[in-house]
Amino acid sequence: MTLSIGPVMLDIAGTQLTDEEATLLASPAVAGVILFSRNIDDAFQVRELCASIRQVNPALLIAIDQEGGRVQRLVTGVTRLPPMAGFGQLAQREGQTVAVSVARDTGWLLGMEMAAVGVDFSFAPVLDVDSDRCPAIGNRAFSDDPDMVAALAGAFIEGLREAGMASVGKHFPGHGHVALDSHLTLPVDDRSFKEIESIDLVPFRHLAPHLTAIMPAHVCYPAFDDRPAGFSPSWLGLLRESLGFKGVVISDDLSMKGAHGAGTPLARAEMALAAGCDMVLICNDPDGARQAVAGFEGRELGGRGLSRLRFGRARPSLEALEALGRWRKIHARLAAMCELAERQQ
């Protein structure tokens, strides 16, 4: 059995791993599995699913989109999380100091609960600045103030780190100022680089040294480069050289329409890796994922630096977490924030 992993993270069809999927996951080109709602019944079933994935290869990474609000894949058996905009609103009501403390506790709680069910990391936090224009972002963003985004997301990252979990900031260099959704098309942000730098890059500039990983956007910023950020050596070079980012770069889902201009799934994956990504996501496209995995087999890619995404501590149990005073306190606070968010809809 190989204990190495490659550059491709993919998804599976249901709540249990099939024999065909297990064979695919055994490929040395596979980095791991991202879980979606269709893979999930409740926390205990997810724990069993994660265990079955690791029986194929203990080195495989398991990820999830567990941001809160409308992007929370696992709901039953764990804490319900409010949209991140709720933390910006909390700062307005009760002050930034309170909101930062709650954001830090929330990062800790998220990290501990995901670790308890067997997940290595969540694709969080969102570092986009909300311009009230982008349907794909909206209340997923902490705030429309870039400095507030940096403060709240920074606290959230601290909480994740305290729990022993990696952080993944997205969507570099900022998805919040385009009106279109990159799941459906390729958005173009026509602003000057100076404007992007003074707003959208602020959270990334503050937090790049503290993030484990960063996910670039499927958005074009022609004032800097005609290529989408995730396929752009210029943008990813700026991330490494000007912002000092030393972590892992993970492509956004290459099956999204915003990535289709790069060609076949294998061509998209090759272009993303050539631009500077270390891992590529291919989701909701089983044939495309298999094509990419087959195309990378035999190549010495090695999943560069991906081991830092793995949860490296003893995993807690959900039952033990619920007995902790810190868990009970933040659980109650988040329930109240969720109720407020529902009333605002």
Look up residue 234 and give its amino acid: S
Give, in order, the Cα–Cα distances in Å from 52 to each of 18, 118, 206, 228, 342. Answer: 10, 10, 38, 36, 36
- Residue 170 labelled as part of a binding site: yes
Here the tokens at position 331 are 């659980």
**Are the C-beta atoms of 174 and 243 separated by less than 8 Å?**
no
> Distance between the two ends of the chain, CA-based, in angstroms?
50
Helix, coil or strand: residue 11? coil
Q: How far is CA 256 from the centre of its chain?
A: 15
Instruction: Assess whether 181 carries a catalytic annotation.
Output: no
- Residue 194 labelled as part of a binding site: no
Numbers of helices and strands, H then E, in the chain: 12, 12
- Residue 80 labelled as part of a binding site: no
**Are the C-beta atoms of 30 and 5 separated by less than 8 Å?**
yes
Here the tokens at position 131 are 């311009």
Point out the catalytic residue in the list 42, 145, 181, 183.
183
Give, in order, the Cα–Cα distances in Å from 286 to each of 10, 20, 261. Answer: 8, 11, 19
If one counts every other C-beta atom within 10 angstroms of the C-beta of residue 315, the result is 15
Look up residue 321 and give its amino acid: L
Instruction: Assess whether 287 carries a catalytic annotation.
Output: no
Distance, CA of 91 to CA of 99 (rounded, Å) = 5
Here the tokens at position 6 are 């490659």
Which candidate, 10, 144, 159, 135, places its Cα nearest to that of 81?
Answer: 159
Point out the catalytic residue in the list 252, 253, 278, 331.
252
Distance, CA of 87 to CA of 122 (rounded, Å) = 18
Q: Which residues are annotated as a binding site?
A: 65, 73, 140, 170-171
Q: Which residues are annotated as a binding site for substrate?
A: 65, 73, 140, 170-171
Catalytic residues: 183, 252
